[in-house]
Amino acid sequence: MAGNEKKADISMTGNKSGKPSIDGKTLKRLMSYIVGRHKLTFFMVVVCILISSCTVVVSSLFLQILIDNYITPMLSEVNPSFAPLLKTIIMLGCLYLVGVLSTFAYNKMMIKISQGTLKAIRDDMFTHMQTLPIRYFDTHTHGDVMSHYTNDTDTLRQFISQALPQFISAVVTIVVVIVSMIVNSIPLTILVLAVTCIMQIVSKKIGGASARYFIRQQITIGKVTGFIEEMINGQKVIKVFCHEDEAKYDFDKNNEMLCSDATNANKYGNILMPAISQLGNLQYVLIALIGGFLALRGIGGITVGMIVAFLNLSKTFCMPVSQIAQQISMIAMALAGAERIFGLIDEKPEEDEGDVTLVRVKCDDKELNNKEADNIFDMFASSKDYRDSIDIVDNSLIPRSYVLYIDVADEAGAIATIATILATEKVSIKNIGIIHNREFEEGVLRIEFYDEDSAANASKLLQKYRYVIYEV
């Protein structure tokens, strides 16, 4: 069991150093569940995301039009007309409304896609699990298997409903914003891209560490869940053999590992977003300073409206970049969960390589003559005579055993109490121990004696102390 867990650790992290190295096969397979089963719905989601992202960018460019074409000229007029400005503002309001409706639509559709995908994955997992051999469940704890249906599946829910649409929206927004910035001002665009490169370096360093520990967290959760499940099922055995301290030690060790991995994962994850946000604020200040300087010097045809638009475009540009950085940990955790799920689905099913031959035997005068019938009868008769010749005594081929099965209390020292009672009455015990089988799933105490009288005396004595004796 320990060897299997060690292999799992290495396969999930990709190497012994623990750095996440998840190839594109897992992502491609996961996307086949998402896109392959919801083609039309996913296409509508992408269209709505495109509309929503373009709305955000266009609304930022509207500010340049408002300032340069309406507000600035109106400042020099004695009796300005507000009708054109009002018309433009109404158009901007309609544009925002379209963006809001598009965002609402694709989020609602992603709920349907996510839940449908999770249902399909759970169905495939359970269906395939029924084909697995018994040895798989002997080498994998029940809690770890359950973790595939709960924790790992929940990471996929977060990925599909949140990370995936945000990633698509971020990519579209970044492309549209860059094109818009290049059209307006190349120097300011270079400034924005330079600060963005710094953001990416910070995101790679901090986000990579967070992703690594999130992958470890998923593996550790499965181990802790499996350990707790085993301890609950074997609680009676732990109590009978006074194994409580060892169980506590093993649980503390696994729980400490989970606490460490979860702490590191969330530590780096929580640092990432504030770091990216502060770099975005720095970019905002630099654009205002450099843009104002260029506007005052008349360089590049930069206007007040262009600077304001660029400030909003930079914010719009930084927001998807920070979203991508924020989703790195969630994506890594989801792919780790998906890899565990697909590992279960890809387990080799049990194969029945045995041959069963059905033979119809007819015993009539044509198939079996009287001589052969007599031989068969004599064979079974001789077998009966041989069995009857075996004496049922202690020295026979099958020695007799004198055994009692007793239901004991689920508490420490229960076996010692019974042994003390029998020893007080000078009843000798041949063997004693806890057994588990089909007849006694919960486990009972089995006591073997040297002779029938000892067994009978022990039964009466223990029943006197209100112990339950099973007749088998």
Q: What pLDDT is recorded for position 17? A: 41
Identify which of 36, 43, 28, 33 has the alpha carbon closest to the alpha carbon of residue 109. 43
Report if pTM > 0.75. Answer: no
Q: Averaged over 65-70, what is the pLDDT?
A: 78
Residues 89-100: tens digit of each pLDDT: 888 888 889 889
C-alpha–C-alpha distance, residues 117 and 123, integer Å: 10
Architecture of domain 401-472: 2-Layer Sandwich (3.30)
Would you place residue 325 in the very low, low, confident or very high pLDDT band (cuts 50, 70, 90)?
low
pLDDT value at 340 more than 80: yes
Asked if 175 and 313 count as a contact pair (C-beta separation under 8 A), the reply is no
Asked if 283 and 192 count as a contact pair (C-beta separation under 8 A), the reply is yes
Helix residue spans in 346-397 (DSSP H): 370-388
pLDDT value at 404 more than 70: yes
pLDDT value at 354 more than 60: yes
Q: Which of 94-108, 222-236, 401-415 has the lowest mean pLDDT?
A: 401-415
Return the structure tokens found at 374. Answer: 């007599």
432 three-state secondary structure: strand
Return the top range by mean pLDDT from 19-28, 58-67, 294-303, 417-426.
Answer: 417-426
Q: What pLDDT is recorded for position 360? A: 56
Q: Which of 61-70, 198-207, 431-440 has the lowest mean pLDDT?
A: 431-440
* CA pseudo-torsion sign 223, 226, 231, 237: negative
Q: What pLDDT is recorded for position 101? A: 92
Q: What pLDDT is recorded for position 443? A: 65
Return the top range by mean pLDDT from 4-8, 18-22, 159-163.
Answer: 159-163
- How many residues are present in the chain? 472
Q: What pLDDT is recorded for position 126? A: 92
Beta bridge partners of 468: 407
Max intra-chain CA distance, the chain? 133
Q: Give percent of the chain above pLDDT 90.
A: 2
**For the CA atoms of the chain, what is the radius of gyration?**
38
452 three-state secondary structure: helix
pLDDT value at 241 more than 70: yes
Q: Averaged over 215-231, what is the pLDDT?
A: 83
pLDDT value at 442 more than 70: no
- Taking CA atoms, 180 is separated from 66, 186, 308, 462, in Å, by 17, 10, 14, 90
Return the top range by mean pLDDT from 12-16, 292-296, 458-462.
Answer: 458-462
C-alpha–C-alpha distance, residues 101 and 51, integer Å: 10
Beta bridge partners of 432: 447
SS3 for 35-49 is CCCCHHHHHHHHHHH
Residue listed under structure tokens 């896609």: 113
Q: What pLDDT is recorded for position 365? A: 53
Identify which of 48, 303, 75, 102 has the alpha carbon closest to the alpha carbon of residue 185. 303
Question: Domain limits of the chain?
Answer: 2-345, 401-472
What CATH fold (topology level) applies to the domain 2-345? ABC transporter transmembrane region fold (1.20.1560)
Q: Averaged over 404-430, what is the pLDDT?
A: 80
Q: Averaged over 392-401, what is the pLDDT?
A: 58
Q: What pLDDT is recorded for position 397? A: 52
